[in-house]
Chain A
Amino acid sequence: MILNRLEHRIKNIEHRIMKLNSNRQFLEGSHAVAEIIKLIKPAVVAAYPITPQTHIVEDLAKIKASGAGDFEYINTESEFAAASVLLGASATGVRTYTATCSQGLLLMTEVLFCIAGLRLPVVITCANRSVSAPINIWNDQQDAVTIRDAGWLMLYAETNQEAVDLHLLAYRLAETLRLPVMVNMDGFVLTHTYEPLIMPTQEHVNKFLPAYKAEVGTFLDVKNPVTIGALAYPDSYMEIRKQLADDIYSSSDLIKKYNTEFKKVFGRSIGDNGIVEEYKTKDAEVVLVAMGSVCGTIKEVVDELRERKQKVGLLKIISFRPFVDDEIVKSLGKAKYIAVVDKSISLGSEGILATEIKRAAYNRLKVKIQSFVVGLGGHDVTKEMIEQIVFDIKKDKTSGIHFVGCS
């Protein structure tokens, strides 16, 4: 009964929003991702269920079954196979897609490293979720950061609009750079949440993202036989890995360039430049650094604290790989205190983003940087907690890691 009423209410709201603005749609995050993938037109989609990603591949199955998309849709027997199917398809020169998270992403790990090493432009969505044990299906960001060294570009969405937009950017980058890209969106918080957003038109998508045409001689083709995945001896392995590292690191220029193009086509930017978004940081004494949907909560707290004349700001990280030190240090230059808010932890060390920020700031900023871990396994992240962080970082003399809101 209650569910029915809720559904009815959602439909009403949806209807009202549609009336307000015809460009806008009221969509569940997963559905929005499936819709943008439909417009991006991959040739091969691999699927394997895992919560909270599943709605995405379910929606794509419907799109395929209804004839609205004519991609190959392959139900696999594991995420390992799903990633391998994409590797094979991408090596044959076509656009590919899947979505996963958590245990599924970790099961893919070996293939993810390989996809990057073979320079295949695969794009996947990771609906960020905690990692076992204990088993827990709710949101944090432990899954993707755990494979941060695999050689993928890793982008993080704050909202469902950004999730949609980042997929367009992801394919553009992947296919230019011949590098894989992972779009991260918080499980449940974004994937299962309805938000009003602007769904791009097919015409605009085509304008920003041209049809994929793999370069002859780089893919499996009986007319131009190539060997992909050869054995590299010590005299060439390091050189090949360095090339990969260089290309990922220098991709930041292209992210900025494509974000500018994106703005021209769609009339909005992804953050400031596709890499970071500064929110009231210019004169901020305390800057919080975070990525993903928690940035929405932090922005509200920043607004409230600003009303109370506290100089607080947020630096939102959109591109975690490449991790663009210059952009980040530039944004943090005037802060005295930097509180890094992580939804993940490197056990035995600290929040993973915190370590990254400290590394980027080393020898460049004289500032207190502290790690605050929040929201593991779907633990609530409240405005009060964020306020407490702003308070604590100024008072606390210790430099250890803080678990916020942990009873």
Chain B
Amino acid sequence: MQEKYKNPFEHLIAPGHTACPGCGQLMSARLVLDTCGPNTIIANATGCLEVTTTKYPTSSWKVPWVHSLFENPSALASGILAALKQKGLDKETNVVAFGGDGSTFDIGFGLISGMWERKENILYICYNTEVYSNTGYQASGATPFDANTTTTPPEKKSMGNNFLRKNMAELAIASGCIYVAQTTCGYPNDIINKVKKALTFTGPKYIEILTTCVPGWGTESEMTVQLGKLAHKTGIYPIFEYYDGEYKAMKIPAPALKVEEYLKYHKRFKHLFKDEKGKEAIAEIQKLADKNIEKYNLS
């Protein structure tokens, strides 16, 4: 538990940013950074988190922070770490990279792979909104099956996104990350605990946080936290961590909720509630959730 309510100005991401009300990413990033503490350097990808916090000449960041491009926070972090090693400051400084799902799953994937291969002591956090939020909600490699995005519109000949999302956490594990976790913006304490845990390991670490994107998902801003919980309780987005060769899942209270209980709050899934075809699609999504529950031993 966080011990007490903090004065907004005590957070390491200061208020005054321009993120949407109910932004799951901003809230999660603040929790991550407060947990990392002031001895942290952030390399940030292009995206909402960068755009909303650094309108020149202002900045919300109270720690050293650098942004250059969409695809390279991982390589920036490698450079920062190398420089810190030469200065003898690498042991006392957390090097953390932030990217959204577009940056992480798609355009920056090759560079992340290189960073992991080099086994560098860097914590990479992916804020997964399952869509290119900052450019107006186009489909990414993290977009769920059948979701309506501006580049996967459901029309006569389409039910939305045709593809299953890429499983980055598994790719991180296969790439030899020493600590890998998934969580959601529905569980602030879990975010804090996972970041704390990750920082006890020396080596490449990957945490993916499912973060509600209010305009991208077409959800109500007061639902942000609730949706983070529902994504987990339906099995749609498993919460787990992996280290020392073992998975440890956050269990779902039995019985698991049906996926409709999550999908019905999103405009991006509204087309699934119209007709028989939509029902079939929901049944497919239910199967995916059931598979997750089985695979990650969630129940």
- Give the Cβ gap from B261 to chain A, nearest Cβ, in Å: 38
Across the interface, do A114 and B68 meet the contact criterion of CB distance under 8 Å? yes
Quick check: which of A196-204, A222-230, A318-326, A329-337 contacts chain B, the rest being far away? A222-230
Residue of B nearest to A70 (CB): B86
Query: Assuming the A-B contacts A220-B64, A231-B50, A231-B54, are A84 and B72 also in contact, with contact meaning beta carbons closer than 8 angstroms in the complex?
Result: yes
B-side interface size class: 35 or more
Query: Assuming the A-B contacts A85-B75, A87-B76, are A227 and B114 also in contact, with contact meaning beta carbons closer than 8 angstroms in the complex?
Result: no
Q: Which of B51, B56, B61, B80 makes the CB contact (< 8 A) with A88? A: B80
Across the interface, do A94 and B87 meet the contact criterion of CB distance under 8 Å? yes
A80 interface residue per 8 A CB criterion: yes
**Complex CA–CA separation, A43 to B81 (angstroms):** 11
Chain A CB within 10 A, most for which of B77, B86, B118: B86
Q: Which residues of A contact B78 (CB under 8 A)?
A: 74, 76, 81, 84-85, 88
Across the interface, do B75 and A88 meet the contact criterion of CB distance under 8 Å? yes
Q: Which residues of B contact A77 (CB under 8 A)?
A: 110-111, 113-114, 117
Across the interface, do B43 and A71 meet the contact criterion of CB distance under 8 Å? no
**Complex CA–CA separation, A296 to B69 (angstroms):** 41
Across the interface, do A93 and B56 meet the contact criterion of CB distance under 8 Å? no
Query: Assuming the A-B contacts A222-B39, A227-B59, are A92 and B83 also in contact, with contact meaning beta carbons closer than 8 angstroms in the complex?
Result: yes
**Count of interface residues, chain A, beta-carbon cutoff 8 Å:** 43
Residue of A nearest to B72 (CB): A84
A90 interface residue per 8 A CB criterion: yes
Across the interface, do A86 and B79 meet the contact criterion of CB distance under 8 Å? yes
A118 interface residue per 8 A CB criterion: yes
Q: Which residues of A contact B249 (CB under 8 A)?
A: none
Query: Assuming the A-B contacts A89-B80, A110-B69, are A225 and B93 also in contact, with contact meaning beta carbons closer than 8 angstroms in the complex?
Result: no
Q: Which of B71, B80, B117 makes the CB contact (< 8 A) with A92? A: B80
Across the interface, do B67 and A220 meet the contact criterion of CB distance under 8 Å? no
B279 interface residue per 8 A CB criterion: no
Query: Assuming the A-B contacts A72-B86, A88-B43, are A228 and B67 also in contact, with contact meaning beta carbons closer than 8 angstroms in the complex?
Result: yes
Residues of B whose CB lies within 8 Å of any CB of A are 38-41, 43-44, 50-51, 54-59, 61-69, 71-72, 75-80, 82-87, 93, 110-111, 113-114, 117-118
Residues of A whose CB lies within 8 Å of any CB of B are 43-44, 46, 71-72, 74-78, 80-81, 84-94, 96, 110-111, 114, 118, 220-222, 224-233, 236, 240
Could you give 23 example pairs across A and B, Cβ below 8 Å? A72-B86, A74-B79, A77-B110, A77-B113, A84-B72, A84-B75, A85-B75, A91-B66, A92-B87, A93-B87, A111-B68, A220-B64, A220-B65, A222-B41, A222-B63, A226-B64, A226-B65, A228-B66, A229-B65, A231-B51, A231-B56, A232-B56, A233-B56
